[in-house]
Amino acid sequence: MKLNVLTFLFLICFFNLSYAGPKLEIEGGNTYDWGIVKPDQSPLKAKIKLWNKGDEQLEIKNVKPGCGCTTAPLDKNLLQPGEYATLDVSLNITSYNGDVTKSISIYTNEENNDHVVLFIKANVSRPVNVFPTYLAFSRLMVGEESSAKVVLTNNTEKPIKITKVTITDERIKLSLKNGDILQPKQPLSVDAFYKPDAPGRLDFNVVIETDSKEADKIEIRGWGNIIQKETK
């Protein structure tokens, strides 16, 4: 009996100590996951509750998103015990493929845990994935031909036919042409070739039109820095 009483008193003390002072608790845990989403759902939005589960006033001193593509304004920053604040989270996913994870740092006056990180996640599913999302020429030298590559993957269940390819810089040559087929679930490598005639900056866009209603237009940006070939 004495042991049970002591155990009961210990649990009461532990419970009281664990909630002494201000205590931040994020409703749903420290990760918010939108699951599988499509680019046209951008920006993703969520309202996340931040509770004060302690017995003293909680001050949310700062909310700092880890990336410029994330916004997270807060409706109030002083919470009495049992109160909550609402964090309005917005995530721009227009340029992403596949899994995306961002973080939001929350700073409070909680004594032993004044910095909490909230992770926000999504899996961006596109009818056609482009990897990487750009054509980057890593080495461009005047008078020498260089190449860059992306891989297109058709994520639908049907073949997709390329109906038109437009390049804003006519000097760029592309291995992809009208009539090419993107087979379901099969990657297709697309190479770009360029032979510069003067130093400077290369910027161009590729627009790929298809017969698919789900992916009627695919846009790929390209760039590179051109340097003069050294002469001995």
91: CATH: 2.60.40.10
Domain boundary among 124, 143, 164: 124
0.85 exceeded by the pTM?
Answer: no
pLDDT, residue 98, reads 84
Positions of E strands within the chain: 24-26, 31-37, 44-52, 58-65, 70-71, 78-79, 84-91, 98-108, 115-124, 128-131, 134-141, 146-154, 160-167, 173-174, 181-182, 187-194, 200-210, 217-227
CA distance 1 to 93: 60
pLDDT, residue 1, reads 47
Is 11 part of a structural domain of the chain? no
At residue 25's C-alpha, the angle toward residues 20 and 31, to 5°, is: 150
Residue 55 and residue 108 share a domain: yes
Residue 117 and residue 132 share a domain: no
Other beta carbons within 10 angstroms of residue 197's beta carbon come to 9
Is 13 part of a structural domain of the chain? no
CA distance 50 to 166: 49
pLDDT, residue 8, reads 55
Domain boundary among 98, 124, 150: 124
Length of the chain: 232
> Which strands sit side by side in the sheet containing 200-210, from one edge to the other?
134-141, 217-227, 200-210, 160-167, 181-182
Q: Where in the sequence is the domain holding 98, given as residue range(s)?
A: 24-124
Number of separate domains in the chain: 2
Is 6 part of a structural domain of the chain? no
Is 1 part of a structural domain of the chain? no
Residue 67 and residue 48 share a domain: yes
pLDDT, residue 96, reads 85
pLDDT, residue 190, reads 97
Is 222 part of a structural domain of the chain? yes
Q: Which residue has the tokens 């161009």?
A: 204
CA distance 195 to 143: 6
Q: Which residue has the tokens 């992809």?
A: 176
Domain boundary among 95, 124, 153: 124
> What pLDDT tens digit does each residue of the chain (232 aa) get?
455 655 555 555 555 555 579 999 999 999 999 999 988 899 999 999 999 999 999 999 999 998 766 788 899 999 999 999 999 999 999 878 889 999 999 999 999 999 999 999 999 988 999 999 899 999 899 999 999 999 999 999 999 999 999 999 999 999 999 999 999 999 999 999 999 999 999 999 999 999 999 889 999 999 999 999 776 5
Is 92 part of a structural domain of the chain? yes
